[in-house]
Amino acid sequence: MSVETLRKEGVKTLTIAVAGNPNSGKSTLINALAGTRLQVGNWPGVTVEKKEAWLSHEDWQLRLVDLPGTYSLSPYSQEELIARDFLIKERPDVVIDVVDATNLERNLYLTMQLLELGIPVVLALNIYDEAQAKGYQIDTKAMQEMLGAPVVPTVATKGQGLKELLEAALRAALKPQRPPSYGQDVEEALEGVLKKLSQERPELLAAYPSRWLALKLLEADGEVLRETGLTADFAHPAVEHLRQAHGEDIEAFMAELRYGLAAGLTREVLRKTRAAKTDLTERIDRIVLNRFLGIPIFLAAMWVVFKLTFDVSTPFVDWVDAATAGPLRRWTEAFLGLLGAPAWTVSLAVDGVIGGVGFVLVFVPVIFAMMFFITFLEGSGYMARAAFVMDRAMHSMGLHGKSFIPMLLGFGCNVPAIYATRTLESPRDKALTAVLVPLMSCGARLPVYVLFVGAFFPQSPGTVLWSLYVLGIAMAVLVGVVFKRTLFRGQAPLFIMELPPYRMPSMRSLLIHTWEKGKHFLLKAGTYILAVSVLVWFMLNMPWGVQSTKDSYLGKMGQALAPALKPLGFGTWEAASSLLTGIIAKEIVVGTMGEIYAAQAQESEEGPRPTFLEDLKELALGFAQAARDAGANVVSTVGIASLQAEEEGQEGLREAVRSTFSPLSAYAFMAFVLLYMPCVVVAIAMRHEFGTWKWFGLAFLYQTVLAWSVALIIYQGGRALGL
Amino acid sequence: MSLADAVWLLLIGAATVYLLYRSLWKKRGHCHGCGGSCDTKKHP
């Protein structure tokens, strides 16, 4: 049945699956086609589940399904299974196979497997511009004839070739294509299996693509045998002949045949017009992947990220802080006063909501700045190198460098990092990586660091922040080594790591992905951080009419926990209460402190009140000044994070923490916040991903013990050294 | 505190607990590692 027939029958919807190797640009292609914002990164494994986008083309509604990147359709990892299950069970009308034109031979292996499915395939020869720049000439016409499938050169990042690709996909949809031929022996064996199937299990031929099913039975594919209820003996007579002719392992034999076809095809269609010269990627890699320089360069890159994060964001942090602590607070009070609201509602709005949520929002510029620089590193291809240079350290804890990718994602938020563990093949690796991910310092912990670094270490904020991130990584390696010898015994799997070429990410892509990463902090602020801030206000004011917050329910809970924290240097009820509420989300630690210290901050603010217009003018001028300061900080060679000079806004809370912490106990507190139990959302993600609370339970236990021990060593060790 | 105040407090408390349950448990913290697919346009 052709598209024209479908059109006559009034069918207006087509499903197009987009498949391809990791990092071949599938998500970029869908984003360019459908205007969606699927996450894109210049590293393999960004898409770990199938995602959809809808697109109208002429009078067609096209459902584009972005499948996880896979090198093959063998059932050895979760993303391969997700991709394969979708193609077999949902039978899309056409598959767009996104092929990296700079890496033709490796990508064509998957193409061969896609062609086996009996679903029409269209090849998008993507990253075509880079292939041309490398001097590659690809004879697409010959390729098309040899494969029996349309081939369209595309450059998804620039939107080139996409219209032609869609048209080719529509023309190809539902039209049968010839499958690759694997030679007489295999074809005869397939015929034998198909004949047996039609006699003994004809229903299976209707449920699966028949040739593909026969191939899988020849290969004794475990998943297919399990699903169909057949045994490996089913294909016995046909397999026996193949075994006699080609050796025992039919699966390996079939893989060789596919590789052979891919290699042969590549040789036929690819011409390299100039001798391969050392390109930029190779030159950079010689340095950043150097055995001795790799890790120092990674640490230096992270330091630069933190330094820039502070330099860019601090003026804006001060501006948002001044806006929430001043005008917003005053306007809310005035507005509620106009409505004649009772005093407790003013307190709830000002001390609870603005004191709690507002104080978290103050740090949004830091979070967005850090997400921007991390997105830049991801998009440039450097993050894949970071995983590569960490490979040796990861092997010491029985993991592969591939496990470091979910951990790096954890710098943004631990939750997607937990989900990203599904790119790992073995359940052991997934579980071990997931229990180590919460040690990666996520963006939610930044507000705590920024507050304390600003109060105690204003001279070197970037370095102190960097030391905390390095502490997190070091603890992950240490705990991993211990777990490898106890709970997670086993060897690290062997796996080839892909190193994508370096690319300069476009500003548009950087801004979109920074927003995608950062926006959930805003969502959190509007939902559960708001809810917790209100609950904290209740707990600080209950029993109703309580005179001192110390005697409130939250104060009592804090007092009960405080003795356990005393050896760590922060055994106050305020710190203990903040750590308790921070279990919901780590940024709530500062939100709670903001509420607890709100009264003191308010007292220090007494004085003549500016008018509404004066407030507006101050806000506008303050923003312009912040933008100027941020620019000056970035261009300054020495860099001046202006945390030390602020005598306004957050100063109330900084002053309050200065009165209860010393620099040493402040650092111990930050280390405790870094390491103590994962937040509730991470707990839910672990339960969702693994179907059990077991791994969260393990993370909860070991992290609590680790956080307490490390904070104790820092504080008591520092005191012993006279700090 | 008047009865009206008490009722308001109770309502706010209940709404807060519901918001917490909805955003944390039902929406899994609005942070599913969805990679932006949450924004995918739904077909009519």
* Residue A55: both structure tokens together: 């697109």
* Residue A273: both structure tokens together: 């017009």
In the block, which residue shows the tokens 């972005």? A66
Quick one: three-class SS letters along A431-455? Answer: HHHHHHHHHCCCHHHHHHHHHHHHH
Q: Which CATH number fits domain A184-272: 1.10.238.10, 1.10.287.1770, 1.20.120.1080, 3.40.630.10?
A: 1.10.287.1770
CB contact set of A499 (below 8 Å; sequence gap of 6+): A281, A285, A289, A381, A384, A385, A388
- Contact check, Cβ <8 Å, B24/A36: no
pLDDT at res. B39: 35
A39: confidence class by pLDDT, cuts 50, 70, 90: low
Nearest to A134 by CA among A281, A276, A296, A313: A276
Pairing mode, if any, of strands A51-57 and A94-100?
unpaired
Q: How far is CA A223 from CA A228, A438, A468, A474, in A?
A: 9, 33, 45, 39
CB contact set of A125 (below 8 Å; sequence gap of 6+): A99, A101, A131, A138, A140, A151, A152, A153, A154
Topology classification of domain A3-172: Rossmann fold (3.40.50)
Using CA atoms, how far apart are residues A259 and A93, in angstroms rounded to an integer?
26
A435: confidence class by pLDDT, cuts 50, 70, 90: very high
Other residues' Cβ atoms within 10 Å of the Cβ of residue B18 = 11
pLDDT at res. A502: 80
pLDDT at res. A647: 39
Nearest to B23 by CA among A275, A489, A68, A585: A585
pLDDT at res. A356: 76
B32: confidence class by pLDDT, cuts 50, 70, 90: very low
Q: Does A535 touch chain B (CB under 8 A)?
A: yes
Residues of B in contact with A527 (CB under 8 A): 19, 22-23, 27, 30
Domain boundaries along the sequence of chain A: 3-172, 184-272, 296-720
Per-residue pLDDT of A73-101, as tens digits, reads: 877 777 787 888 888 888 899 999 999 99
pLDDT at res. A637: 42
pLDDT at res. A677: 86
Using CA atoms, how far apart are residues A388 and A401, in angstroms rounded to an integer?
6
Using CA atoms, how far apart are residues A119 and A87, in angstroms rounded to an integer?
8
Peptide bond into A543 cis (omega under 30): yes
pLDDT at res. A510: 83
Nearest to A116 by CA among A166, A168, A74: A74
Average pLDDT, chain A: 81
Q: How far is CA A213 from CA A111, A184, A188, in A?
A: 17, 18, 15
- Contact check, Cβ <8 Å, B24/A681: yes
> Can you tell me the mean pLDDT for A552-569?
91
Q: Does A527 touch chain B (CB under 8 A)?
A: yes
Is residue A126 classed as helix, strand or coil in its secondary structure?
A: strand
Interface test with B, best of A527, A529, A537 (most B CBs within 10 A): A527
Lowest model confidence (mean pLDDT) among A135-144, A296-305, A389-398: A389-398
B38: confidence class by pLDDT, cuts 50, 70, 90: very low
Using CA atoms, how far apart are residues A661 and A640, in angstroms rounded to an integer?
25
Specify the DSSP class assigned to residue A155: B
Per-residue pLDDT of A444-461, as tens digits, reads: 888 899 889 988 998 888
Using CA atoms, how far apart are residues B29 and B8, in angstroms rounded to an integer?
27
Nearest to A516 among B23, B29, B36 (CB): B36
pLDDT at res. A493: 57
Q: What percent of chain A has pLDDT over 90?
A: 16
In the block, which residue shows the tokens 């009140």? A609
Using CA atoms, how far apart are residues A399 and A480, in angstroms rounded to an integer?
8
pLDDT at A701 exceeding the cut of 90 = yes
pLDDT at A596 exceeding the cut of 60 = yes
pLDDT at res. A205: 87
Instruction: For this complex, say whether ipTM is above 0.85.
Output: no
Q: How far is CA A32 from CA A15, A37, A83, A155, in A?
A: 17, 9, 21, 10
Per-residue pLDDT of A478-506, as tens digits, reads: 898 888 888 877 665 555 566 677 878 88
> Can you tell me the mean pLDDT for A100-121?
91
Lowest model confidence (mean pLDDT) among A171-180, A462-471, A705-714: A171-180
pLDDT at res. A8: 59
Q: Does A37 touch chain B (CB under 8 A)?
A: yes
Is residue A513 classed as helix, strand or coil in its secondary structure?
A: helix
More reliable by pLDDT, A642 or A716: A716
Per-residue pLDDT of A153-207, as tens digits, reads: 999 888 899 989 999 998 888 677 888 888 777 888 888 888 888 888 888 888 8
Using CA atoms, how far apart are residues A104 and A263, in angstroms rounded to an integer?
9
- Residue A14: phi, psi to the nearest 5? -125, 140
Lowest model confidence (mean pLDDT) among A49-53, A210-214, A672-676: A49-53
pLDDT at res. A640: 42
